[in-house]
Structure 1
Amino acid sequence: MPDSLGERLREARTKRGLSLRSVAQSLGVSASLISQVEIGKTQPSVQTLYALASHLGVSLDELVGLPAGPAPEDTKTPEMFGHSGPALPDVQRGAENPVIEMENGVRWERLAVGAGGPVDALLVTYEPGAASSVEGKLMRHAGVEYAYLLEGELTLHIDFDTHVLQPGDSLQFDSVRPHLYSNQGSVPAKGVWFVFGRRQHNQSMRDAPVVSSAAAVGSASAPGSAVDVLRAMDGL
């Protein structure tokens, strides 16, 4: 078993027959950065580490040398759950979802998340003509972004590339890469988003105002970009 993070990353990459250049291009970083991480000369950011783990198909536990997989059932005690039975789910009804609406027609609903947890779970609806930035500028923030489009058509602008997403399409990328979503179709586009690690390592490009959980479309307090919305979600 490799002893260091870099060695584990190199082993995972070579097992899949991937070159340094191909991994770097997929993550939007330089091949020299990946090389320096593998030989132990530098440590990856949390966002890059999440993206590497996802791209290479390995768990973070494996990369940092922790045992993989859940604990055996016979090692779980009632004290671990805080009561005598198995842990109960935290249910959030649809009508209870905190909502933030951007002034240009994007509706964000925060789904059930644990207090202070590592993931932003969101149901997002883009009306025709709406975009994740009112000014139409590419934005970036900390974390790794995952999404699944449920209905409609959504265009992702990332770096210098453009991808048109259809229902059933999914995506993942390091959110520090400049990106913008826009609905250039004629019907609303709706999808589920998960942003992992943003809250713990917030490196947003600018501060965002905190708005209410029911900001009205077109109101003065409505956020102007997805970065504003994510920061505002922290206060809900």
Structure 2
Amino acid sequence: MEDRIGPALRQAREERKLSLRKVATAAGISASLLSQVETGRSQPSVSTLYALVSHLGISLDELLGIGAGTPAAPERPVAPTSSGVVQRAADNPVLEMANGVRWERLAVGGQTDVDALLVTYEPGAASSVDRKLMRHSGTEYAYLLSGELTLLLDFDRHLLAPGDSLCFDSTRPHMYLNHGTEPARGVWFVSGRRDLDHTREWVESQVGGLAGENPVRPSNAVEALALLGVPSVKGARD
């Protein structure tokens, strides 16, 4: 399923008539890295993927090719269930991310405003390959099932153990790292993740009146968050 990431991102970019360089700049990555992702020669990190889908305004389901017109999975010899209610484990769409991070998309009942994921961080894995903190719109919820995971949030460090849960505004700079020797596995929900157009509209409604006849109009998600006073955090020490 991860083979779909590159072609889906390229298709979304071309449908919006955006250049490779423009999208790469908005996502905070190099044009060469975006080209490698689109051609399947490189898998994006969690932070890069969120930046790309936010800028292009696409959902994870669209990225995975799930939705209208998508062929249904072959029938399995199991007891019948209500359509759209139960998603079998073997049918979970999987995204293998860079640096040892794995996403399994869980059932969301057709909802497009929430990402429900079973996430695994292998030992040494991080949500950002270059160890820069990421931020995106929405609210992040998680419950750790096994292993240990470090959450860097703003300038604070939180060590999560099995049974621990979290909740925070995802516009706050954050990053996940697994410093342990075992895989860290948990369930994540990200709700209210807006696409870039919605982010622009929201920011303009907040700051547009501050500039009189020449309101400030952000060109990318990073600028949008900066206009609302979210600090830019370049990185964090391990």
Please indicate the TM-score interval, normalised by the length of the shorter structure.
0.3 to 0.5
With structure 2 as the length reference, what TM-score do the two structures score? 0.47
The structure whose residues are more often helix, as a share, is 2
With structure 1 as the length reference, what TM-score do the two structures score? 0.48
Greater C-alpha radius of gyration? 1
